[in-house]
Homo-oligomer: A and B are copies of this chain.
Amino acid sequence: MKRPAPPPLPSLPITEDSGSVSTPDRLVEAAGEIFAEHGFQNATVREICQRAEANIAAVNYHFGDKRGLYHAVFLYAHSCAGSDEVAGHLQASQPRAKDTSSVSKAAPAARLRLYIHALLGRILDEGRPAWHAKLMAREMVEPTGVLDDLIERSIRPHFDALQRLIRELIGPRAPDETIRLCAISIVGQCVFYRHSRPIIARLYPDLRFTAEQVRKTAEHIADFSLEGLSHYVGTRSATRARAPSAAMSSARSGSAASGAAASGVHVRGVPRVQMKRARKAG
């Protein structure tokens, strides 16, 4: 009759028994895959519990309800690998000379390349801790409200950093609208490979997204986008100004570093947020 009240949000109760994983952890992992695969509504707690080898009541006991588990999955996805790694390529590693001379434009272009490689590598990675990208994709099509918390914390800084980088590339006097349009164009090209994967798989049945294929795809998006950005280089308003941008296109920083960024996505052993919730009332 009496239901215990676990600590509201304990700091980081990592499983002391490193051999076996605790039930909430198994639930979150299983739920991540299944939510990503079937969506929030279509996923059933029975299937989640079956894959997690847990009892059906475990979801409500540890997370309150199905939605609580979904929220925990998002927190876990954000905390473990997160998008910080991908977005890390957006900021300049060292504060260079502030005066934007034409020679310092190579660095932003290279950073954009690295960013695209990392983002696409994460998007197309089929590995286990990659389902948070699918979750994000699902949230975009069908928002459940959980996204609201995370959008300010992850996606907006992501976009802001990308837009600052674009501004570095096409000039500080470009209007905000141009920056926004270009950012969406770049992200859209990458995200398409996630959203429209079934379509792509059917249109090109022989296409396999190996690491090499991912690298080539990212390289194309970088080439295509840098060239597209060059349309706006030096613009001040909506009028079109042409500047064929020899500096930008020559800034292809080599595929070796990009390939390294595309791999190494799997992050393991990161302390995850564990979320326990008791019953609502009593």
A-to-B contact residues, CB < 8 Å: 38-39, 41-42, 137-143, 147-148, 151, 155-156, 159, 177-178, 180-182, 184-185, 187-193, 195-200, 202-204, 207, 216-217, 220-221, 223-225, 227-231, 238, 240, 242, 244, 249, 252
Contact = CB atoms under 8 A, between A and B. Distances in A.
Contact of A155 (B137, B203, B238): B203
Contacts of A227: 227-231
B191 A189 contact: no
A276 B121 CA distance: 46
Given A41-B41, A188-B188, A143 B198 contact: yes
B199 A155 contact: yes
A240 to B, nearest CB: 7
Nearest to A38: B142
A41 B140 CA distance: 17
19 contacts: A38-B142, A140-B199, A147-B198, A148-B202, A180-B207, A181-B224, A185-B189, A187-B192, A187-B196, A188-B188, A188-B196, A189-B189, A191-B192, A195-B195, A223-B228, A223-B240, A227-B228, A228-B228, A242-B249
Given A41-B42, A42-B41, A142-B39, A180 B198 contact: no
B188 A184 contact: no
A178 B220 contact: yes
Interface majority SS on A: helix, strand, loop or mixed?
A: helix
Given A156-B203, A189-B189, 14 more contacts: A39-B39, A140-B199, A151-B199, A151-B203, A178-B220, A184-B200, A185-B224, A188-B188, A188-B192, A191-B196, A227-B228, A227-B231, A240-B249, A244-B244
Contacts of A181: 217, 220-221, 224
A244 to B, nearest CB: 4
Contact of A184 (B159, B192, B216, B249): B192
Contacts of A202: 148, 151
Nearest to A187: B192
A195 B142 contact: no
